[in-house]
Structure 1
Amino acid sequence: MALTADPSAELRRNRWIMFVLVAVVVGSLAALAAATGWEETWASLSALTSGQVAVLLALSLINYVLRGLRWFLYCRVVHVPVSLIQAFRHYFGGFAMTVTPGRLGELVRMRWINQETRFPYERAAPILLMDRAADLAAMGILLFLAFLLSAEVASASLLPVAAVSLVVALLLTRQSIAMAAITLFWRTVGRWPRLFARLRMAARTLGPFSHPYIVFPALAAGLLGWFCEGLALQYLLIWLGAEIDIWPAVGIFALAMITGGATGAPGGLGGAEAAMVGLLSLQGIPLEISVPATVIIRLTTLWFAIAIGVGVFPIATHFANKGQRLRET
């Protein structure tokens, strides 16, 4: 099962997609800033101190570390023979591929695992599925908590999104449902038996992930990690002069991230920013604050992750190639 023939080439091929989307997003946000007056927007941006930016980056880093620990936990579930350092290297390096459509480029993590350990793709693939599902479940729970604990957020939009997120996460990770879906698809298509055999093998590995001693730590890591990102949004808005409680901020951040992810655009570009500005406006926060807040929070979350990934990517590739060469000699 070939995943990414050349990760570096894949990264280069998808840069143009990122540049186009970034140009559209920057242009749209600039238009909003111009509509409110550049002076107000710039005053909001320049009001932040370096210490405050450091706090925002630290909260994002807590999220990444907790999710990296969850990745290592999932690797242990399927007995991938990697150390904690290797797991973090693979996980953080994969952030560089966030710019690919639907973040499919993050499959490079599977390639690195295979190159370093010869662990089969089909046995490691459920880790990626579970990682996505755990994030979706954590977002759904945070939205549900925001619905319960905040009277300020547009609650009517939170509850259905929370419910759908939890249902989708459950459907993606249930072994019986996955096996039934693969079998039904195989009977419908009736071709590529080797591919479907590998898919069924991958689906069989989902069972151990449903044990409580795996589910609860994984959910806790996602909940705390993404809560830190919502907390960062609250701090940022307060520093920019807008009063907002923690749960409305968490709900807005989670809903914006799910909205962006649903578009399939790299990193949710466009969708997440539009949703965040719109949701903040519904809270009565003026554009001269909501626009720079959206710009800053995306820089300290999405683009901070990509920057880390770009830095770790060549290191992860080096060790993966080195591991492959050692096995071939």
Structure 2
Amino acid sequence: MIKNLHQKVIISVLVCTLVLAFLAIYADLEKLVLSLKNFKWIFLIPVLTLSLLNYIFRFFRWEFYLRKLGIKISTTKSFLIFISGLTMSITPGKFGETLKSYLLKITDNVQISRSSPIVFVERLTDFIALVILALYGSFYFNYGKEIIAGVGFIIIGGIFIISKKGNFYLVFERIRKIIGDKFATKINTAYNSTVELIDLRVLIPSVLISTASWFFECLGFYIVIRSYSIDLSLNLATFIYSFSTLAGAISMLPGGLGFTEGSMSGLLIFNKIPKNTAVAITIIIRFATLWFAVALGLIALYIFQKKIVNFKK
């Protein structure tokens, strides 16, 4: 998995370059460059700090899940594994963050089938958090509420179906003979871990953590907008960021590339922000969130390989 990582990063960088090229043509390259120059770059410090707070809160959630599943590793190792997983923010729906399960396997021999449901439930709570953040704005501004509410109902319905053990084992026993005991055992382990993590006593606090963590990035987006002296409310900025991020995640494109940028720029333009400024804001916030996360992940993964894996050898 680690050996193929550089290929995934290169592909995502190429896709990002194409997206940027399209945005630059759309916004008029000369005007876009001028807008980027006009950005007060001192504001990048609080924006990156808020992105870091997002990752720290999500790390708390990761630790919470590990403890619930009885997986005990040192906080330092856990933190390195979690941050390394940010490298896979550029994968469809971020599900490539199962890299974390792979790292747990090679260092502590934790079954991938046991820990990988954490990544699934992380994405689930991220979706719920983004729906919560976007839903208020969608009703307030009367835009996109049907789409957001529909996504919310699908998620809730999915949780309800998954939590019904009787239905699962009814199907499970029928396919056990087809797939064999070895694979059946792994599926059963993964299912039991998932059910533990979507229990309401675990789900509710983790959704609260997720909502707070994603609001930090919404706040960072608001700061970037305000740096251009644009009078846009925090409510509207939160809606635009969460809705665009949700659209990118639903698209299942690597890192939501294309859909997130298009939605974000489009909504800013819809709110009477010049297209060159709207595209500049989009580029800056994506650098400060998505690509900042990937960069931190690569650094953490390098440290992990040098310090943890080599030490284990």
TM-score, normalised with respect to structure 1: 0.86
Match of 2:205 in 1: 217
Cα distance in 2 for partners of 1:110, 1:119 equals 8
Corresponding residue to 1:114 among 102, 105, 112: 105
Q: Percent identity?
A: 24
Alpha carbons 1:62, 1:228 under 8 Å: kept: yes
Alignment CA distance shift 1:215-1:189 (3 Å): closer
Return the offset for 1:211: 4.4
SS in 1 for 2:269: helix
Does 2:5 match 1:11?
yes
Tell me the CA shift for residue 85 of structure 1. Answer: 2.1
| Separation (CA, whole Å) in 1 of partners of 2:161 and 2:110 | 23
Q: Which amino acid aligns with 2:53?
A: I
Which residue of 259, 263, 277 corresponds with 2:251?
A: 263
Matched, 1:30 2:18: no
Question: Structure 1 CA distance, aligned partners of 2:157 and 2:190?
Answer: 17
Cα distance, 1:305 vs structure 2:
0.4
Does structure 2 retain, via aligned residues, the 8 Å contact 1:116–1:323?
A: no
Per the alignment, in what secondary structure is the counterpart of residue 268 of structure 1? Answer: coil
Per the alignment, residue 164 of structure 1 pairs with 151
* Structure 2 counterpart of 1:272: 260
2:57 to 59, 66, 71: 66
**Equivalent residue of 1:241, what SS?**
coil
Seen in structure 2, the aligned counterparts of structure 1 residues 55 and 166 have a Cα distance that, compared at 3 Å, is farther
CA spacing shift, 1:16–1:187, aligned 2, 3 Å = farther
**Count of residue correspondences:** 312
Measured on the aligned residues, the alpha-carbon RMSD in Å equals 2.5
> Is residue 270 of structure 2 the alignment partner of residue 282 of structure 1?
yes
Give CA-to-partner distance per residue, 1:60-110, whole Å, 9 cap, x none: 111111011111111111011123222221111111122334434322100
Output aligned runs, 1:1-329, within 5 Å: 4=1, 7=2, 9-34=3-28, 38-39=30-31, 41-148=32-139, 150-151=140-141, 155-165=142-152, 167-168=154-155, 171-172=158-159, 175-177=162-164, 180=167, 184=171, 187=174, 191-193=178-180, 194-322=182-310, 324-325=312-313
User: Please, which moves more after superposition, 54-63 or 139-148?
Assistant: 139-148
Contact 1:110/1:125 (8 A) holds in 2:
yes
Question: Aligned partners of 1:245, 1:16: CA distance in 2, in Å?
Answer: 37
Q: Which runs of 5+ in 1 are unaligned?
A: none
Contact 1:115 1:323 in 2 (8 A): no
Alpha-carbon spacing, 1:162–1:57, altered in 2? closer, same or farther (3 Å): farther
Q: Distance in 1 between matches of 2:239 and 2:165?
A: 30
CA, structure 1 residues 229+102, in 2 after alignment: closer, same or farther (shift >3 Å)?
closer
TM-score w.r.t. length of structure 2: 0.90
Question: Helix, strand or coil for the counterpart of 1:206?
Answer: helix
Moved more, 211-220 or 79-88: 211-220
Q: Which deviates the most, 95-104 or 132-141? A: 95-104
